[in-house]
Structures are given as C-alpha cells and as structure tokens.
Amino acid sequence: MKVAIIGQGYVGLTISAFAAEHFEVVGFDSNLNIVNQLNQGHSHIEGIESSQLGKLIKSGRYRATTQGRDIQGSDIVVIAVPTPLSPDRKPELSFIDAACKTIGQNLLHSALVINESTSFPGTLRNIIKPAIERYSSTQIEHLYAISPERVDPGRGDFNQKNTPRLYSGITSEATEKTRLFYSKFCDNLVEVSSPEVAEAAKLFENTFRQVNIALVNEFAQIAHSLGINVYETLDAANTKPYGFMKFTPSAGVGGHCIPVDPTYLAAVAEEHGAPATFIRRANEVNLEMPEYIVRRVAADNGGTLQGKSVLVVGVAYKPNVADVRETAAELVIQHLRSQGAVVSWHDEVVGSWKSESSAPLQGADITVVVTKHDLVDEKMILASAPYVFDTTGKVKGAKGL
C-alpha cells in the first residue's frame, strides 16, 4: 500500500515515520530545503531521529518530494499542512486549499483522504471534499475521513502509539479504512459519530488548555497583589483529589496549537451566532502576560529599564524544542525594548532567530527566564545577572510570578 503525506513538518514527518514502518510512504512538502534535508536523512523534528529516517530511506519505504505527481497511485493521502491565523486573526485555510489542489490534480484513482490538520467543524465535509473535487480533472470519488493529530513534540511518555486517536469518516467505508490504517501504529483508536465531532473535540481540547492557562495567569496576578505565593497556593489546591486540575502560570502560550486553535473555535461559533466570550478573553489574558511581567521587572528595578541590559533566557515556546512559533518570548522582548532595555537572548536549542543569535548566559543587569530547557543550568541562570525574574517557576532562588 502506498501512502502520501502532504506536509512534512511536526505532524506530517512524525506520521510518515510511523507509517513507513508498515507502508511505502511519500512525504510531499512544498519546501525544497526541507525535502532535500529529509532525503539526505536529516530530520528537522524533535522525536524523529535522523538515524531512524536514514534507515527508512535506505529500506526504500520513505522518500520526500516536492513533485505533486509523486503522490500518484497512493491508496491513502494524509493532509498535515499548517492552519494558522491570518494577519487579522481569522482562520487561514490557504495551505489546506493548496494541499487539496495537489491531491485533486494528481490522484487519478480513488483513495482515502484523511485530514490531520486542525480546523473547525465542517472543514472536511464542506471545504476539503469540494475543493479536491473541484481541482480534479476526473469524476473519481474519494473516501474522506478526519483523525486530528495530538502529537506533543518533544514529549517522551506519549507518542503516536500510546496516545488515543479520534477518527471518523464521511461514510462508514471511510471510517473503517481509517481505523485499519491507524491500527497499524496506534494502540487506542476512538471512533466518533461524525467528522464534525472529531474536529470540534480537537479544538475543544486545546481551548480547554488555553482557558485554564489564562485562568492561572490571572490568578498569578491576583496572588501577587495579595502577597500570596502562587505556586504554594496551586500546590495546596492540587491536594483536592477530584474536580481540580493544576495548571501553572507562564509568560503566555505559544506554538502552532494553543494560541491558534481556540480562535478557530471562536470564529466558527460567532459565525453561527453562538458566544465565544470566554475563549476571546482567555486569549487576551495570555497575550497581556508579557506586558505584566515587564511591569513587574521594571517595578523591582527602580521603576525603569532604560539602558539596562536584559537577557531573556529561552525563546522557544516550550522547553526542549526549537519551535518559536507564536512564542511569548517575542512579546516579552518587544515590551522590554519599548521600555528602553538593551535586550539579548540565550537559547542554545533555538540557536538563531529573527536574524539574531543566542547570546552567552552571563553578564546582564537583568535576566528574565521565559522558557527553561533541561540543558540550561539553574546555577548559571542565577549567576547571569544580579536580578533574575523567572516566569517558569523552575529556577529556585529567583524572583518570580
């Protein structure tokens, strides 16, 4: 069986590596650099080792391509392309449309098309299926299904194999073929009654995280104003064995999912006349955290940051990954610079970002920890400046939320 995966990023390459243990996989990506790297056996994704990729290439079970025609003859096509927000923060489905074009123009016999890209309910049925049919020069009927991706890059305990996976097809044949495909490399498959339920569940999962992170970020501000330690308070609340789940405060949310997916849900809700007040406000609270943090840092340093050298530690959006998409560090740096601070950043995992490179972990007036990778030494952070503000709760002895 031949499987084509459209998009070879975090989601697409991960699924490619698992599927290639069982099927012939063609990884299609529009980015030639990524494709060249992959074909040379270099993985750009945490969790997929280059050695593993090299073995799959050598065995002939995986190859990457930028050529749409290489997906011809596929029995299954998985869509794993970005679904970001437009500059006016609306769902941006142009990548999905481009993927549909590749599929429509190149799939010349009936196949199962599975969408793994996150989008609002109705995307598979009302957008993907009609688009592929529109781009197709023949009248072939494909099968359509959804199986939202839950991969958490960089995570060791949960992976493709042991993370339960939702799935549903537009027809029962599509549902069954989807089950058979994923059952090769996923132990726990959960069928739901329609693609729309699976699409909505994915958005709700990430909205749940976004709202709870916003709540704890607001609570951190309340606790500080009351002179109470937020971490001790959260640990105390967490002793309740039911009805409570602990989230910890931070500089905000980042990555491709938590800052983005809830806005997809809010957009579709509002389009249908349903309220999304909570979701919208949660997003604002998280986006306001960097400014709050910079205010706290300034207050502790004589009320001004003018001319002070500030080192931001960790610009990736979360520990142990190089991903800087929607990172809260960007807003922290912006606010620091708008206060006249001279800002550099240290992040050896990211290396370079926005034409700047990781600076040494030393010699600053002020250090602000946004993300703490495991490889960064706590003692070195504390020694990097006379004043250290930690937004992660991981650096003992630093000032913090």
Ligand X SMILES: NC(=O)c1ccc[n+]([C@@H]2O[C@H](COP(=O)([O-])OP(=O)(O)OC[C@H]3O[C@@H](n4cnc5c(N)ncnc54)[C@H](O)[C@@H]3O)[C@@H](O)[C@H]2O)c1
**SS3 for 311?**
strand
Strand 62-65 and strand 24-28: the pairing is parallel
46 to 85: interface string for ligand X, x by CB under 6 A? ----------------------------------xxxx--
Instruction: State the nearest-atom distance from the C-beta of 255 to ligand X, in Å.
Output: 6
C-alpha distances (whole Å) from 68 to each of 94, 96, 267, 303, 371 are 17, 15, 32, 58, 39
Cα distance between residue 308 and residue 337, in whole Å: 10
Could you tell me the end-to-end alpha-carbon distance of the chain, in angstroms, rounded to an integer? 53
Q: How far apart are CA 210 and CA 200, in angstroms?
A: 15
Minimum CB distance to ligand X, residue 97 (Å): 8
Smallest distance, ligand X to C-beta of residue 138, A = 21
For residues 103 and 135, the answer to whether their CB atoms sit within 8 Å is: yes
CA-to-CA separations, 216 to 234, 252, 262, in angstroms, rounded: 9, 10, 17
Which residues in the 11-30 window bind ligand X by CB under 6 A? 11-12, 28-30
Question: In this chain, which of 34, 294, 305, 368 binds ligand X, going by CB under 6 A?
Answer: 34
Residue 396's region, left for phi above 0, alpha for psi from -120 to 50, else beta, is beta
Q: Please tell me what DSSP assigns to residue 31.
A: -
According to DSSP, residue 48 is labeled S
Does residue number 256 form part of the binding site for ligand X (CB under 6 A)? yes
One of 17, 25, 64, 99 touching ligand X (CB under 6 A): 99
| Contact flag: residue 175 with ligand X (CB under 6 A) | no
Shortest distance, CB of residue 118 to ligand X, whole angstroms?
4
Q: With binding defined as CB under 6 A, does residue 111 bind ligand X?
A: no
259 binds ligand X (CB under 6 A): no
CA distance 389 to 398: 6
Q: Which is nearer to ligand X, 24 or 199 (CB)?
A: 199
Part in contact with ligand X (CB under 6 A); list of ranges 7-15, 139-147, 240-248, 268-276: 7-15
Comparison of 9 and 195: residue with beta carbon closer to ligand X: 9
Q: Does 218 bind ligand X (CB under 6 A)?
A: no
Q: What is the CA radius of gyration of the chain?
A: 23
Q: Is 326 in the site for ligand X (CB under 6 A)?
A: no
Q: Rounded to the nearest whole angstrom, what is the least distance from the CB of residue 136 to ligand X in the complex? A: 16
- Total interface residues for ligand X by CB under 6 A: 29
CB of 385 to ligand X, least distance (A): 32
Q: Given the rule CB under 6 A, which of 10-18, 303-311, 347-355, 372-380 is the region that contacts ligand X?
A: 10-18
Closest residue to ligand X, based on beta-carbon distance = 9
How is 240-288 classified by DSSP, letter by letter? SSSS-------S---TTTTTTHHHHHHHHHHHTT---HHHHHHHHHHHH
Strand partners, 313: 346, 369
Q: Which residue number, 11 or 322, has a Cβ lying nearer to ligand X?
A: 11
Which one among 117, 207, 283, 367 touches ligand X, defined by CB under 6 A? 117
The only residue of 145, 257, 297, 333 in contact with ligand X, by rule CB under 6 A: 257
Name the token pair of 98: 């481009």
Among 3, 4, 5, 6, contact with ligand X (rule: CB under 6 A): 6
Long-range CB contacts (within 8 A, 24+) of 180-183? 181/3, 181/19, 181/76, 181/112, 181/114, 182/147
**Minimum distance of ligand X from residue 34's CB (angstroms):** 5
If the CB atoms of residues 7 and 393 are measured against ligand X, the closer one turns out to be 7
The total of other beta-carbon atoms located within 10 Å of residue 237's CB is 12
Stretch that binds ligand X, among 8-16, 190-198, 270-278, 375-383 (CB under 6 A): 8-16
Question: Nearest-CA neighbor of 77 among 137, 141, 140, 27?
Answer: 27
Q: How far is the CB of 123 from ligand X (least distance, A)?
A: 10
Q: Which of 5, 81, 132, 257 is catalytic?
A: 257
Q: Segment 118-157, which members bind ligand X (CB under 6 A)?
A: 118, 149-151, 153
- Told to judge if 186 belongs to the known catalytic residues of this protein, a careful annotator would answer no
Q: Could you list the residues that contact ligand X (CB under 6 A)?
A: 6-12, 28-31, 34, 80-83, 95, 98-99, 102, 116-118, 149-151, 153, 256-257
Residues designated catalytic: 257
